[in-house]
A and B are shown apart, each in its own frame.
Chain A
Amino acid sequence: MRLPQFTYHSPDTLEGVLALLDEYRDQAGVLAGGTDLLVRMKHRLTLPKVLVSLKHLDTLSYIKETSGMLCIGAKTPIIDVIRSDKVHQQAPALGQACERIGAVSIQHFRGTMGGNILQDNRCIHYNQSQFHRSGRQPCHKDGGKICYARDEADRCNSTCQSDGATALTALDAQLTLNSTRGERRVALDAFYTTDGIHPFDMQPDELLTQIDIPVVPGAVSTYERLSFRSAIDYPIVCAGVRLVPDPDDSGCIGSARIVVGAMGRSPLFLAQVSRSLAGVTFDDTAALEKAGKDAMNAAAAFAAHNAGAELAYRQAMVEKMVARALTQAAARPSARKAR
């Protein structure tokens, strides 16, 4: 399959990249690892006139800890995140999520952390070859007025199937976006527009440069994912959770963040279910399982036929993924210490 034609630039500096993005805006595509962008280009789902490669921007590839934050450069390869002890200690959910991204030879060396968050929303009806799509009317995301994922829907029902985004939302991460106009920081859960066509609150001249994860003392986090084939398929349901122990050392959960991915147009942070866990002891399995059920009830409404599995199955599995992630998080050594 040939790629469409484009002009290629690989600036040596961040300023050079930002200047090109400012010049070409909507017509530019940012190429980091290319594992998402090039596939969409081959399918003619996106046709940038200009590709701005981050090839020479190795300054955006790092994992460091500064003033209570774990900072990951947007161009850090997935493999570096997987191999980072800092990540596994301070943000285990992210480490687990990255291990589950694709296969060693697909994403781990080429794919980047920033690219994983910024992968476009997907839908089994949309992410198909040009030939496949040519046999029917275009859907909302493809410029038409039909949704094949949900009958008579007036808007796009694609879903965010990024492993990294779900884990990072649970970890309450923040993003740093740069442009020629300056720098802007945004919390990951405020970064989503809930529009399946343009899922990110990001201008065409902006570049994601850094991901910050707050390091919360005693916090435990895990990520759980369900997919057909581990290495090739995107998750059909996934869940990321973070539990912070009560500061009084009472053995209770002080605050929780439960996030369900691959169901809605963005990772779903379930605020009410998360709040219900405050004050619950870490070994209260019944409460953790109930939170799984509540999460299923809260997330089920967002599901559409967009991931190739039966809806009822995916909805039922939300409960399992959340309950499993919570139980595992609660059983982590640092959570046990809090008891």
Chain B
Amino acid sequence: MQTIDITLTINEQTHTLAVKPNDTLLEVVRDYLDLTGSKEGCGEGVCGSCTVLLDGHPVRACLTLALEADGSAVTTVEGLADEDTLSPLQQSFIDHGAVQCGFCTPGMLMSATALLKEQPSPDRKAVRKALSGNICRCTGYAKIVDAVEHAARPEPGCPDCHTKDTGENHD
């Protein structure tokens, strides 16, 4: 089968890869590059667990051909942390208990990262809308929305926003 060389900048690292026409971006990041943070849930653009940023915009990696992403910059969930330091959003997910089974988390983080980049201090409605394409089958939406809402703007009365100060809930 025909293979085509493409160049992808993934998490600020440039890769030149020979891909098949029917490889999706998700298959390339997971199977070629072992970046298994992005998950395949439904594989048909419904659940959102494969969301990555393509040139800064959230897209479904399972419905994007790798060839269509040629020459683009891709950010996956692995690209959010700065080495050992989690991004404020990731930390907020931990602090607010927004991770249950964790399968939807990479997609939630990517959709929310895109939102916060555009709207640094979104209200609850904006957060819910931005995350409306991501499904959490543990149904832990309230805490996820809390985590995003409070990531950029810790809320005075919220006990979880301050766990990182006391170091109580995590090692």
A interface residues, Cβ below 8 angstroms from B: 1-8, 10, 31, 34-35, 38-39, 42-43, 51, 53, 55, 79, 102-106, 109-110, 230-232
Contact = CB atoms under 8 A, between A and B. Distances in A.
Contact of A104 (B1, B44, B130): B130
A110 B45 CA distance: 11
A104 B129 contact: yes
Given A106-B45, A231-B132, A232-B135, A5 B1 contact: yes
A10 B48 contact: no
19 contacts: A1-B62, A2-B22, A2-B27, A3-B65, A6-B21, A8-B2, A8-B67, A10-B67, A31-B68, A34-B65, A35-B60, A35-B63, A39-B63, A53-B67, A103-B134, A106-B45, A109-B58, A231-B132, A232-B133
Contacts of A39: 44-45, 63
Interface in B32-72: 40, 43-46, 48, 51, 54, 57-60, 62-65, 67-68
4 A-B pairs with the lowest CB-CB distances in the bound complex, closest first: A103-B133, A231-B132, A1-B43, A105-B58
B114 interface: yes
Contacts of B60: 35, 105-106, 110
A7 B23 CA distance: 12
Given A7-B21, A110-B60, A232-B46, A104 B111 contact: yes
B18 interface: no
| Secondary structure type dominating chain A contacts | loop
Given A104-B129, A109-B54, A109-B57, A3 B45 contact: no
Given A8-B21, A53-B67, A105 B48 contact: yes
Contact of B64 (A1, A8, A34): A34
Contacts of A5: 1, 20-22
B76 to A, nearest CB: 14
B134 A105 contact: yes
A104 B133 contact: yes
Nearest to B67: A8
B92 interface: no
B24 interface: yes
Contacts of B158: none
Contacts of B114: 104-105
B138 interface: no
B4 interface: yes
B65 A38 contact: yes
A35 B45 contact: yes
A3 B44 CA distance: 11
